[in-house]
A and B are shown apart, each in its own frame.
Chain A
Amino acid sequence: MQGYILNLLILVSISGILATSLNFIIGYAGIYSMAHAAFFGVAAYTGALVAMHVSTSLLVTIPIAMAVCAALSLVISLPSLRVRGDYFVVASLGLQMIAFTVFSEWKEVTGGIGGLTGVPVATLFGFRLASLESFFLVALTCLALVVLIIYTLVHTSFGRSLKAIRDNEVAAATFGKNPIVIKTIAVAISTAFCGVAGVLYAFHISFVNPESFTVDQSVFIMSMIIIGGTGTVFGPILGALIIHLLPAGLTYLTFLPARDLASLQQIIYGAAMVLLMIYWPSGLIGRANVKDTWAK
C-alpha cells in the first residue's frame, strides 16, 4: 500500500513538472504546444540510452536530455513562430505525429513498439536511488526546483516581456522587444524542463515504449493545466494531482464495470475540458480576470 502511494506520488511529481513546464508557454507566453508528449518521449529515450550506455547519474542524464529537447524545440519554433500563433499548434501537432512514428519505427535506436527495456537504476552523487522513497524525494526536489525556477523567471524582465507579448505582440514589439526571439527562448526553456520529467520517467518505470508518448498524452498534460488553471503557479500541480487521483478514486466505485474504467476516465476528462471551457475557462484556481488570461 505504501509502495502504491509512493508510486502515485512519483507520477504526480513527474506530471507536475510536465504541466508546470507546459504552463510556462501556454499561461505566460500564449504559445499553445501539442507536442509536449513528444518532447517528454525524446527526453525519456535520451535518458534511457544515456543511462544504458554512458552513465546512470542524474547529473549527466538530465542535462543531456534537457539540451536535446531544447535543440529539438528549435525545429518547430523557428519555422512556425515567424507566422501566426495557430501555426505553432499545427506544427507541434505535426511534430507529435512524426515523433510517434520515429519512436515506433526507428527500431535500431528506440527498439520499435517494444521499446527499450532494462533501464538501470538512477544514481545521484554516487548513491543508487533504488528505493521508491529516495526516488520520490529526488522527483519532488526536481518538481520544487522547476517550479521555483519558472516562478523566478516569470517575475524577471524576461517574464514580463513574455506576458507583454502574450497580451499584445505589436505593442511589445513597439517597445523594442523581439517577440520571435523571446518566444523561441521560452519554448526552449519549457521543453528543456519537460526533459527533466522524461528522464525521471524513464528511470522510474525502467522501460520506455512509444505508447506513453502519444497525442493523447499531450492532451492529458494540457488538461492538467486547463483544469488547474493556466498562468498560475499551483494550478498545474493541482491539475496533475486531480488527474492522477481520479483513476485511483474510480476504482473504489465498485458498481462501475472494470472493463470500461479507462474509457470512463477519459470521458470524464473530455467532458471536464468542454464544460470548463464553456463556463470556467480560467480553471479551478485561475486568475479572476478570465478575459485577460485568454485574450490574445
Chain B
Amino acid sequence: MLLLQLLVDGLQLGALYALMAVGFAVIFGSTRVFHYAHGTTYVLVGYLFYWMAERLAVPWWLAAALAALAGVVFGVVLDRFVYRPIQRDEGSFFTVFVASFGVGVVVENLVVIFFGASFVSISTPLTRVTDIGGGIVISYLGICSMLIAVALFVLLNWLLARTDVGVALRALSENPELVRGFGLNPRKLSQYAFAIGSLLVAPAALVATCVTGLTPSSGHRVVLISIAASIIGGIGSLRGAGFGGLILGLAESMAVWKLSTGWSEAVAFVILFCFILARPSGLFGIRARV
C-alpha cells in the first residue's frame, strides 16, 4: 500500500519535474544556451505569486497569471540583455553559463532581502487530500498538476508541429545556419524559445509554492533536476526531457520506500550518473558523442 501511495506521489512530483525539464529543454535544445537561471525564473514566479496572493490579497488567478507573465518577461529580458551580448563575441558555452549563474545569485539574494531566507508557502483548501480508494490519498492540487502537465505537453506538441514559430524553432535546434539561410532571424526565434521555456516552468512554480513551499535557493535544485532530466531523456528531445522528469520524480518518491528521506534528494543524481556512464545519449537522444 505504501508503495502504491509513493507511486501516486511520484507521479505528481514527476509531472512538476517534467514541466521544468521540458521548459529547460525547449531553451537549451533550440538556442544551446545553458540557461542556469531557469531555476531563477521558477523562484521569481513562485515568490511573486506568493507576494501577490498571500500578502496583497490579489485574486489567485490574477496573481498566477501576472507571476507567469513576469517569468516570461524575465526569460526574454535575460536572453536579450545578457546572453545576446555575450554570444555576439562568440562567447563559449561556459561564458554564458557563468553569466546565467551570476544572474541566479543576484536574484536569489534580492529575494532573501525582500522576503527573508526562510521558506514560504501558500495555504489553499486545494492541498487537502482526498481518498481515491484503498487508502491511497491525493490532493486536488496534485490532480491539477498532472492535468496541467498533460495539457501543456499536448499544447506544446501542437505548437511545435503545426505553427510557423514551432517549425522554425525545431529547425533552429537542428541547423542554425540553415535557418539563417532561409531568411529567418535566429535571434528573434531564441526570444520565442525563452518565452515558451519560461512559461512552462511557471505552472510548476505555482503548484509547488502551494504544495511544498519555496525558499530563495530552490532554484538550484530546479535547474539541476531539469538538466538531469534533459540528459536522461536525451538532449534535443522534448519528449525525452518530459519522460526524464517523470522518471526522476517517480524515483525520488519511490526511494523513500527503502531509504530515509534525506537520501532521496541524491537519487536523481545517481540516476544521472548511471546514464552518463552507460548511455550518454539518453533515452531518445542522438549525437551525444563528439
- Residues of A whose CB lies within 8 Å of any CB of B are 32, 79-80, 82-87, 89-91, 93-95, 97-98, 101-102, 104-105, 169, 215, 219, 222, 226, 260, 263-264, 266-267, 269-274, 277-278, 281, 290-291, 294-296
A278-B86, A281-B89 known; 20 new pairs, CB 8 Å cut-off, are: A79-B273, A82-B289, A83-B289, A84-B288, A85-B93, A86-B34, A86-B93, A89-B34, A89-B97, A94-B272, A95-B269, A263-B110, A263-B113, A271-B102, A274-B82, A274-B99, A277-B86, A281-B86, A294-B92, A296-B94
Q: When A83-B280, A97-B269, A98-B269 are in contact, do A274 and B93 touch as well, CB less than 8 Å?
A: no
Residue of A at shortest CB range from B85?
A: A278
Is B280 within 8 A of A93, CB to CB?
no
Cα A97 to Cα B99 in complex, Å, equals 21
- Can you give 10 A-B contacts (C-beta < 8 A)? A83-B290, A91-B273, A94-B269, A94-B276, A98-B270, A264-B113, A266-B105, A273-B98, A281-B89, A290-B89
Q: How many residues of B contact A (CB 8 A)?
A: 46
For A271, the closest partner residue in chain B by CB is: B106
| Closest chain A residue, CB of each to CB of B230 | A90
CB < 8 Å neighbour of A84 from B90, B260, B289: B289
How far is B91's CA from A79's CA once the two chains are assembled, in angstroms?
Answer: 27
Q: Given the known inter-chain contacts A79-B276, A87-B280, A270-B105, please indicate yes or no for A98 contacting B266, CB distance below 8 A.
A: yes
Q: Are A295 and B92 in touch, CB under 8 angstroms?
A: yes
Q: Could you say which of B113, B228, B272 contacts A260, with CB atoms under 8 Å apart?
A: B113
A199 to chain B, nearest CB (A): 25
Quick check: is B20 within 8 A (CB to CB) of the other chain?
Answer: no
Tell me the bound Cα distance from A281 to B90 in angstroms. 11
The answer to whether A90 and B220 touch across the interface, beta carbons within 8 angstroms, is no
Nearest 6 CB-CB pairings of A with B: A273-B102, A270-B105, A270-B106, A277-B99, A101-B266, A274-B102
Complex CA gap A88/B224 in Å reads 14
* Chain B residues in 8 Å Cβ range of A260: 112-113
Mark out the residues of chain B between 223 and 277 whose CB falls within 8 Å of any chain A CB in the assembled complex: 224, 227-228, 231, 260, 262-263, 265-266, 269-270, 272-273, 276-277
